Structure 1
C-alpha cells in the first residue's frame, strides 16, 4: 500500500478515535482507563485471530519488545488519563502537537546527529506556541477552585509523554531496521502483553463499565474500532518512513483534530490558544521543508 493511502487511513482513523474519545470523557470523565483497556483488548484479540500459529514464533524476539512495550503502554495510559485531570482537549492536542521537537531532541541525543537549522527553528517556534497556549489555559483554570493543581499535574504528565512517545518511535524504528518490517506482529504484542496490567485497576474498570449508558457503550465501540485503524495505520506507516517523519505526520493530524474539536464541541478558545496553534502550525511547516531536503528513505533492515 502506498504511503499516501496509509496516511489517509491515519488521518481518518485517528481523528475519529480522538473525537469519540472526547465525547465519552465529556459525558463520563472517569471512563478514560476503560477506553484505554477496551482499545488494548480489542486490538490484541484481532491480532491473535490474524496471526494464529505465528504468535508462538515471532520474527522479533519477545525480549526485544520489552522496552517498546513499557514505553508504549505508559504513554498510551498517561495520554488518556490526562483527560481526568481537567486538561481541556484543546490544550491536550496543542501540547501533543509538540511531538516533533521532542522527537528531534531524542533522536539528537540517541543518534548523536546534529539536526539542521530549519528543524531547530521549527522546534523553537513550536515550543513557544505550546508555552503561549498553556499560559492562556492556565488563566482560565486558575478561576476554577480546586482544579488548578490537578491541571498542573496533567500538563506535566503530557510533557513527559512527549519524551516517552519520542523514545517509543525511535525504539520502533530500531527494531524494524534490525529485524525487518512486521507491523501486524508489533501491533499485537505491544497491545496484548500489557493487558494483564489492567488487573490492577479491575475494580475501577468494572464500576465504570456498569455505570455507562447504552449511548456511551455505542460510542466506546466506535472509538475502539477507529482506534484499531489508527494504530494499525501508524505501525504500517512506520515501516515506510523514519520515526521523525511519522511524528511530523501525526503532528499535522493532531492539529486537524484540534480544529474539529474547536468547531464541533465549541471549546473555550482564547487568543492565546489561537496564537499558540498558529505558531505550532508555522513551526511544523519548517519541519516540512526539513523533510523535503533530507529526502528520507523507507526503513531498511540489515541482512543477517
Structure 2
C-alpha cells in the first residue's frame, strides 16, 4: 500500500514538474500573443476610425509585409523548396484571402470594433455547423449548449448595437443609410464567420495530407494571394493618398503622416501575433491556446471600450460574457485532466 502511494506521489510530482516546465517555456509566447495582438487592434481601430476606406490598403500591407519577411527568412529568396506543393494550397489561399479582406472591409460599414471582436469570437459556432455538415463530426450536448450561448450572445450584442444607431440623432434619411450600410457590414461578418470555419477545415485537411509546416504555410498563403489585390488597385491607391494627407506623427522629427506609422505598426504586430500563436501552439495543448486567444480577444474588447471610448451597454456585456464563456465551455477549458493527459500521451509514444 505504501509502495503504491509512493509511486503515485512520484508520478504526480513528475507530471506537475513537466506541466510547470511546459508552461514556463510558454510564458514568452503567451505574453507575445497578448501584447502583439492587442497592440495590433489598437492600430487597426485607430486607422478604421480616422480613415475607414483604408481597410483594403491595410489588408494588402499586412500580406505584403508577411510575404516579404517569408521571402527573406523562410524561402531564403526561393532557394528553399516547398514541403507542401502549391496545388495543396489552392483552397487555403483562396479562403484565407477572402476571410481577411471581408473581415477588415466590414469595418468600413459602421461596424464598431467591439462588435467586430465579439462576432469573430463566434467562430466556434460556424466551425461546429460546417464540421457537422461537411465532415460528419458529432459533438456532445455540452458543446451544442455552448454554441447556443455563443449565438445568443452575438445576437444580443448585434441588437444592442442596432438600437444605438436609432438613437444617434441622425435624420431619417441618414439613419436609414447608416442602418443599410451597417446591415451590409453584419452580413459580411456573418459570411466571414462561415468562410473562416471552412478555412480551418481546409487547413486541417492540408496538414493531414502533407504534414504541418507552419512557417511555410504562413509565407505561401500571404505571398500567393498578393496578385488578387490587383482587383482593388484603384481603391488601394486612393486610400494611400488619404493616408499621406494625414497629420504628421508628433514624436518623429520628420513630417511622416501619422496613419502610415499606424499602418506600419499594425503590419509588424500582426506578424508577431501570428508568429507567437504558432509558437504557443507548438509548446502547449490546444486548450491553453484557446484560453490565451480568448483572453486576448476579451482584453482587446476592454481596450477598445476604454481607450477609444466606444459605447458599451449592460446589454453588450451580457452578450459578451455569453460569447466568451461559451467559447471556454466549448473548449472544455475547465477540464483539469488536460495537461496530465497530454503528458501521459507523450510518455506512451
TM-score by length of 1: 0.89
Structure 1, unmatched stretches of 5+, are 299-304
CA–CA separation in structure 1 for the residues paired with 2:142 and 2:47: 39
Aligned to 2:264: 221
Aligned to 2:231: 200
Is 1:104 equivalent to 2:128 in the alignment?
yes
Is 1:282 equivalent to 2:325 in the alignment?
yes
Aligned to 1:267: 310
Change (3 A) 1:174 1:113: same
| Paired residue secondary structure (2:76) | helix
| Paired residue secondary structure (2:219) | helix
Aligned to 2:202: 171
Q: How many residue pairs were aligned? A: 298
Kept after mapping to 2: 8 A contact 1:96/1:254 = no
2:301 paired residue among 240, 258, 261? 258
Is 1:189 equivalent to 2:220 in the alignment?
yes
Give CA deviations for 1:183-236 in whole Å, capped at 9, x if unaligned. 110011100111111112212211221221211111111111001111223344
Indicate the RMSD between aligned Cα atoms, in angstroms.
2.5
Please list every run of at least 4 consecutive aligned residues from structure 1 whose deviation after the TM superposition is greater than 6 angstroms. 240-245
Measure how far apart 1:4 and its partner are.
Answer: 5.2
Measure how far apart 1:161 and its partner are.
Answer: 0.9
Change (3 A) 1:100 1:240: farther
Is 1:72 equivalent to 2:133 in the alignment?
no
Kept after mapping to 1: 8 A contact 2:62/2:270 = yes
CA–CA separation in structure 2 for the residues paired with 1:247 and 1:289: 10
Aligned to 1:301: none
CA–CA separation in structure 2 for the residues paired with 1:233 and 1:171: 22
Kept after mapping to 2: 8 A contact 1:15/1:257 = yes
CA–CA separation in structure 1 for the residues paired with 2:321 and 2:193: 20
Aligned to 1:30: 53
TM-score by length of 2: 0.78
